[in-house]
Structure 1
Amino acid sequence: MSTELLINATPYEIRIALVEHGNLVEFYLEQPREKGLVGNIYRGKVVRVLSGMQAAFVDIGLERTGFLYVDDVHITTDDFEKRLAKSDRPEDCGGGCCGNETPDSLCRRTPGLNIGDLLSEGQDILVQICKEPLGTKGARLTCNITLPCRNLVFMPMTDHIGISRKIEDENVRKQLRQDIETLRPAGTGFIVRTVAENATNEDLEADMEFLLHTWGEIQDIAVKAPVPSLVYEDLDITLRVVRDIFSPEVERVVVDDLKTFNRVQHFVETFAPKLQGRVHLSDSPIPLFDSHGVEMDINRALDKKIWLRCGGYIIIETTEALTVIDVNTGRYVGKSGLEETIFKTNMEAVKEIAYQLRLRNIGGIIIVDFIDMDEEIHRDEVFSAFKEAAKKDKSRINILRVSEFGLVQMTRKRNREDLRHMMCEPCLYCHGDGMLKSGRTICYEIFRKVEREAKKASADNVVLRVHQRVAAMMLKEEASTIDYLQGSTGKQIIIEPVKDVHLEKYEILWGRE
């Protein structure tokens, strides 16, 4: 079956699905009211420098200040030398931003300098968002500006040529490096993207001219822009995904909205004219995602429990600091022995875990708890299979070997919010804890309060307004406790079930008829 890119566009939401062999493998979502920010460039102001964290907070005009780490700060050579000449000591150098200078006057952070040597409060700075704001955290910022195009990524702050690791042919890599070296201006950097493996010299030159022109415009705007303000806005999610994913390996791009189809056609005609014939407008009366079975896959991608074909299952739990994945045999009992049953379950789980990480875009630290394997050869095979299954993932992944306890520690680069954060919000009742007090715990909590307050209350009765489930427990299972309380306090207890109330909420009203 083919690899397809499906674009479902409406005025209120844009959804994009990458489908390989009939399976949803990547999903992108953007709502115009909550548009993504990664790639945007801002002129901001340093509002706080934290030497203890080797970082600074920068006001870029968003709700929360952005976070800039010391290794992501650049300073200009000229400004650094001027400050050094004034102080004769590197420790006193305040540094300047790379933002409004010409590319050939820029340098990487000088080793050994602290954040206070490079930035000062109130300083103007040109920064780019490299990670979306997540939860209560502001956006992650960098001075290391990058501008992506179809075949190239331009790095105006870096004198470097990089080639995508997925281009494996050494002759092709060597030729691409020579082409870029010939074309690029001195002191600038470029990364050749995977899609450029079959690009011509003319394709590379066209991309380079476009990127250099864009950077020149950004510099001109930055000089005049107020602080804080947006200087450059990256492409919207539709064109960004087409730019990054639409390659010769993708057989079709199907769009269900005429306006979006025309925009995609124009973009592909400009940057990838050879692929223009693969862009199609859907004319089916059946919704695009329904006709390809994607709608059901999206809903399943939010489930915590995922069943494996063998009968085992995995559980995915996300915390503030990391994601934990637990593997279980479930209904699978195997045939030849326990060790073989465990090994086969773990091997099947490996493929599913790699798939789910990519689909859900889970990033950061990830701990996988495989079922304990006694034989070292089995642990090695599971590790090798995991690394192989993760090769299809575009995000940078680092996987450590399986420990004796069956644990695998790994990291996956996170550039945007995962599917769970995009489509869900914390429970209004438990606020994300995932647990509520039991009905019995609430009953006893109320009983203790009644006993304490009865000594001070002059009323002859008390009304307990509680959730229906708690009321049922009080009237049936705890009826003897109610009789005991009425006898010990001398008060009549009236239980009033309330339909629309939180399970843990209740009222104790004294002296009500």
Structure 2
Amino acid sequence: MKQMIVHCSEHVTRMALLDEGKLVEYAAERGEQEELVGSYYKGRVINVLPGMQAAFVDIGQKKNAFLYIDDVLHPHLEKQPPVKPSIDTLLHPGQEIIVQVRKEPRGGKGARVTTHFTLPGRWMVYMPSAEYVGVSKKIVRDSERNRLKALGERLRENEEGLIMRTVAEDEPPEAVEGDLETLRAQWKGILRRADQAEAPALLHRDLSIVQRFLRDAFDPKQDELIIDSARAAKEAEVFLEDMAPGRPGAVKLDEAGDSVFVRYRIWDELNRSFARKIMLDGGGTLIWDETEAFTVIDVNTAQYTGGSTLEETVTRTNLLAAEEIGRLIRLRDTGGIIIVDFIDMEQEEHRKLVTDRLESVLAKDRTKTHILGWTRLGLLEMTRKKARQTSGVVQAPCSCCGGTGRSGTPDFAAAD
């Protein structure tokens, strides 16, 4: 069973997801800083750069958005030309275009946008021009995959594409079809607003943080939503009824004086999980360093001496670390290149045990992680997509060191 714990303050809404009592996801949304990912804009092309195969699009934000050639070509790979054309044959300055934000602005970079449009629903993801039907790989029964594939092919029209989500497993055709009709209506509304608006203009914004997690990770039949705001609780009940009509909601209002995050020890767990040094059960440790290019995680036995041999001690520590790393990657929403320096193991079968343990934990993550394998130096490489910013609402860069973890020595400060 999962529990969604939602804490609403004057300026920030925070959501923590517990799975069997363990904190596995966290997100926050500031009222004055709404997220852009998933939103649709009518933009105007400002620059087209053939040398970069990219264009910059004004969507009304501080920084122009970045549109790469792959996000302009047809979303179905089989429909793309064998040789990529130059982007200046597809776009020109001054051209107005509908784009969807796929990655938040970060640092000095603008948002990453695409013309491969997607509208996520409860049971499916709707793609107006993808021309194919896909089924979540997490649905393993061939009979159910074939049923959903056939259902999608029957329901889709013209150039539409559909991806059947994991939660669509065993759902009746009427529920799936109702979801599709809702998404079609949303897309028609986006096109209608685009015809009427002058660029740059916002056409459609993604759901709020609570609604998004209800849609993507909540099962009204068995999960709980615990929320400390009467207004937000009522909104959640209405959303759940629209999402899963006729099914009893599981919204619990908790308006006690202290924060719901305090009672469920969410703050304590966030402080522990977002620290640089993280203690493992038994005494091992993780050292977690994030750079601009990638994340490095170092595993140490520290005080753990539980095995009868060195290899057994090392393997046990690495297995504990793999389980915790899988949870923390999801919780911290770590993205990009991830390098894990596990303690050296002599036997290949032990390395496979560690990889399998990590994969089993990451399989529960809704964001796909690709484990690339072990390098010649014994490091485990993986990549994970990240579209949203999460940790900024937990931690902020230190004003003294600028986020490096080190500040200048007195001698250096004097010389400066």
The structure with the greater share of residues assigned to helix is 1
Q: C-alpha separation between the residues in 2 aligned to 1:23 and 1:154? A: 32
Select 1:122's aligned residue among 64, 84, 94.
94
Query: Would the aligned equivalents of 1:50 and 1:56 in 2 still touch at CA under 8 Å?
Result: yes
Which deviations, in whole Å up to 9, do the C-alpha atoms of 1:158-213 show, x marking residues without a partner? 11111111111111111112222222212211111111113211111111111111
Query: Would the aligned equivalents of 2:117 and 2:128 in 1 still touch at CA under 8 Å?
Result: yes
Select 1:293's aligned residue among 265, 280, 291.
265
Hey, what does 1:436 align to over in structure 2? 407
The percentage of counterpart residues that share the same residue type is: 40
Query: Would the aligned equivalents of 2:220 and 2:249 in 1 still touch at CA under 8 Å?
Result: no
Q: C-alpha separation between the residues in 1 aligned to 2:310 and 2:94? A: 65
Query: Would the aligned equivalents of 1:346 and 1:370 in 2 still touch at CA under 8 Å?
Result: yes
Q: Which has the higher contact order (CA 8 A, sep 6+)?
A: 2
2:403 maps to 1:427: no
Question: 1:375: how far off?
Answer: 2.1
Hey, what does 2:12 align to over in structure 1? 13
Hey, what does 1:344 align to over in structure 2? 316
Query: Would the aligned equivalents of 1:8 and 1:16 in 2 still touch at CA under 8 Å?
Result: yes
Q: C-alpha separation between the residues in 2 aligned to 1:197 and 1:383? A: 28
The one-letter code sitting in structure 1 at the alignment partner of 2:218 is F
The one-letter code sitting in structure 1 at the alignment partner of 2:343 is I
Hey, what does 1:359 align to over in structure 2? 331
Question: 1:227: how far off?
Answer: 1.0
Secondary structure (helix, strand or coil) at the match of 2:358 reads helix
Secondary structure (helix, strand or coil) at the match of 2:62 reads coil
Superposition map of 1:94-173 within 5 A: 109-112=80-83, 113-173=85-145
Hey, what does 1:68 align to over in structure 2? 67
Q: C-alpha separation between the residues in 2 aligned to 1:434 and 1:284? A: 38
The one-letter code sitting in structure 1 at the alignment partner of 2:13 is I
Which deviations, in whole Å up to 9, do the C-alpha atoms of 1:8-31 show, x marking residues without a partner? 223311111111122111011000
Question: 1:147: how far off?
Answer: 0.9
Q: C-alpha separation between the residues in 1 aligned to 2:412 and 2:204? A: 55
Question: 1:328: how far off?
Answer: 0.8
Question: 1:110: how far off?
Answer: 3.4
The one-letter code sitting in structure 2 at the alignment partner of 1:280 is K
Q: C-alpha separation between the residues in 2 aligned to 1:46 and 1:269? A: 41
Question: 1:363: how far off?
Answer: 0.6
Q: C-alpha separation between the residues in 2 aligned to 1:51 and 1:374? A: 50
Hey, what does 2:287 align to over in structure 1? 315
Question: 1:424: how far off?
Answer: 2.7
2:361 maps to 1:389: yes
Hey, what does 1:196 align to over in structure 2? 168
Change (3 A) 1:249 1:394: farther
Query: Would the aligned equivalents of 2:229 and 2:255 in 1 still touch at CA under 8 Å?
Result: no
Task: State the TM-score, normalized to the length of structure 2.
Answer: 0.94
The one-letter code sitting in structure 2 at the alignment partner of 1:39 is G
2:191 maps to 1:219: yes
Query: Would the aligned equivalents of 1:71 and 1:109 in 2 still touch at CA under 8 Å?
Result: no
Q: What residue ranges of structure 2 are gaps of 5+ in the alignment?
A: none
Which deviations, in whole Å up to 9, do the C-alpha atoms of 1:314-342 show, x marking residues without a partner? 00000000000001111123442222221
Hey, what does 2:29 align to over in structure 1? 30
Question: 1:380: how far off?
Answer: 2.1
The one-letter code sitting in structure 1 at the alignment partner of 2:168 is A
Change (3 A) 1:340 1:404: farther
The one-letter code sitting in structure 2 at the alignment partner of 1:9 is C
Query: Would the aligned equivalents of 1:156 and 1:188 in 2 still touch at CA under 8 Å?
Result: yes
Q: C-alpha separation between the residues in 1 aligned to 2:312 and 2:231? A: 55
Task: State the TM-score, normalized to the length of structure 1.
Answer: 0.77
Which deviations, in whole Å up to 9, do the C-alpha atoms of 1:393-413 show, x marking residues without a partner? 111111122334320010011
Change (3 A) 1:277 1:427: closer
Q: C-alpha separation between the residues in 1 aligned to 2:343 and 2:304? A: 13
Secondary structure (helix, strand or coil) at the match of 2:207 reads coil
Q: C-alpha separation between the residues in 1 aligned to 2:176 and 2:331? A: 31
Q: C-alpha separation between the residues in 1 aligned to 2:150 and 2:100? A: 29
Q: C-alpha separation between the residues in 2 aligned to 1:199 and 1:335? A: 47
Hey, what does 1:483 align to over in structure 2? none
Which deviations, in whole Å up to 9, do the C-alpha atoms of 1:108-151 show, x marking residues without a partner? 55342121221111111110001111222211100011111111
The one-letter code sitting in structure 2 at the alignment partner of 1:135 is G
Question: 1:239: how far off?
Answer: 1.1
The one-letter code sitting in structure 1 at the alignment partner of 2:35 is G
Query: Would the aligned equivalents of 1:265 and 1:276 in 2 still touch at CA under 8 Å?
Result: no
Query: Would the aligned equivalents of 2:28 and 2:390 in 1 still touch at CA under 8 Å?
Result: no
Q: C-alpha separation between the residues in 2 aligned to 1:47 and 1:229? A: 15
Q: C-alpha separation between the residues in 2 aligned to 1:176 and 1:21? A: 29
Question: 1:274: how far off?
Answer: 4.7
Query: Would the aligned equivalents of 1:167 and 1:194 in 2 still touch at CA under 8 Å?
Result: yes
Runs of at least 4 residues off by over 4 Å = 440-443
Select 2:384's aligned residue among 412, 432, 436.
412
Q: C-alpha separation between the residues in 1 aligned to 2:284 and 2:370? A: 26
Q: C-alpha separation between the residues in 2 aligned to 1:301 and 1:274? A: 38
2:56 maps to 1:57: yes
Change (3 A) 1:275 1:364: farther
Equivalent pairs counted in the alignment come to 413
Superposition map of 1:363-512 within 5 A: 363-419=335-391, 421-442=392-413, 445=415
Superposition map of 1:321-340 within 5 A: 321-340=293-312
2:253 maps to 1:281: yes
Q: What residue ranges of structure 1 are gaps of 5+ in the alignment?
A: 76-97, 99-106, 446-503, 505-513
